[in-house]
Amino acid sequence: MRPPLPAHLTTISNPRALLAVALDWALIAACFAAAIRFPYPLVFVLSAVLVARTQLALAVLMHESAHGTLLSHRRLNDIAGQLFAAAPLLLVMDFYRSGHLQHHRAPMVADDPVATIFGIDDYPVTRRELVWRLFKDATGIGYFLSARNLVRARLRGRNPHKAAGHSKRFYAIASIVAVQGVMIGLLAAAGHAALYFGLWILPALTLLPLFGRIRAITEHAGYRASEDQRFSARTVVRRSWQTFFVGPHRIHYHIEHHEYPHVPFYRLQQVHALMAQQGRLPAANLYRSYGQVLRDVSQLKQIAEH
């Protein structure tokens, strides 16, 4: 039985959430502006990396909206999650919500949608296999393989995306078309329409899946289903450049998130401190870096094979 949290740790702050959304989009705009103002290969590459990182940050904000913790008003929460986070990534937040909440009911069970889509249910793997999987993501192959996994899950009846109502479906599709249209229109007006494909779609097909896979591996790979979800998730305890790229908006406090999924992201660090004080964080599931996790989930099988 998990102890209840102080009320202030579950209180949603609309200004903090809106600031997070605004800062993410400001960084995206700055990346496009830099690529336009300084049309050099190095600037483009750096901008693409930062855009992909911020696409992941938007996905985390969509995740917040799916939990109902982005904004305090439910309808505005859903609208903001779809319009400012899901639609830019060509996603439907309501579909994502159904699968993600299924994941929270029982992470790493046979029909866990997260394990299915990201392919993290067979770890540990060999070092060579891990590098190969990350390479496929970085080259865009992984994006299409994940889509294939989703289709196969649907055909097997393990569909993480329940059908939405017609009105919700229409709104979601309309929001995707509108957001993509605005992006293309603004870039075309600036005389750089091609940047939509080079600096938005290309990172979304390559670097975003790479960052997303590393995040998913860190959160659950190598663990088995457990009634106590503290033992089927990991937390990266130290904020650094690694959490900036792979664990934005404090999603790296993942044990804490699974233990208290209704806590807004900006309060997870306080929950971490409280759980540590209570002695409720399993030491073996606490890591200082993403590299440490990747080494662990790719070494164990190698050792066993020798």
Helix (H/G/I), strand (E/B), else coil: 287: strand
Please give the single-letter amino acid code of residue 159: N
Give me the pLDDT at residue 304, please: 47
On whether residue 136 sits in a domain, the answer given is yes
Tokens representing 63 are 């995740």
Instruction: Name the residue range of residue 201's domain.
Output: 7-305
On whether residue 1 sits in a domain, the answer given is no
- The answer to whether the beta carbons of residues 235 and 252 sit under 8 Å apart is yes
On whether residue 2 sits in a domain, the answer given is no
Mind listing the pLDDT tens digit of every residue in the chain (306 residues)? 789 999 999 999 999 999 999 999 999 999 999 999 999 999 999 999 999 999 999 999 999 999 999 999 999 999 999 999 999 999 999 989 999 999 999 999 988 989 988 889 999 999 999 999 999 999 999 888 877 766 666 556 555 545 456 677 888 999 999 999 999 999 999 999 999 999 999 999 999 999 999 999 999 999 999 999 999 999 999 999 999 999 999 999 999 999 999 999 999 999 999 999 999 999 999 999 999 999 999 975 455 444
On whether residue 210 sits in a domain, the answer given is yes
On whether residue 35 sits in a domain, the answer given is yes
Residue indicated by tokens 């004080």: 277
User: What is the pTM for the complete model shown?
Assistant: 0.92
On whether residue 232 sits in a domain, the answer given is yes
On whether residue 86 sits in a domain, the answer given is yes
Whole-angstrom distance, CA of residue 132 vs CA of residue 109: 25
Structural domain total, the chain: 1
- Residue whose C-alpha is closest to residue 278's, from 28, 73, 4: 4
On whether residue 71 sits in a domain, the answer given is yes
- Residue whose C-alpha is closest to residue 92's, from 113, 62, 115: 62
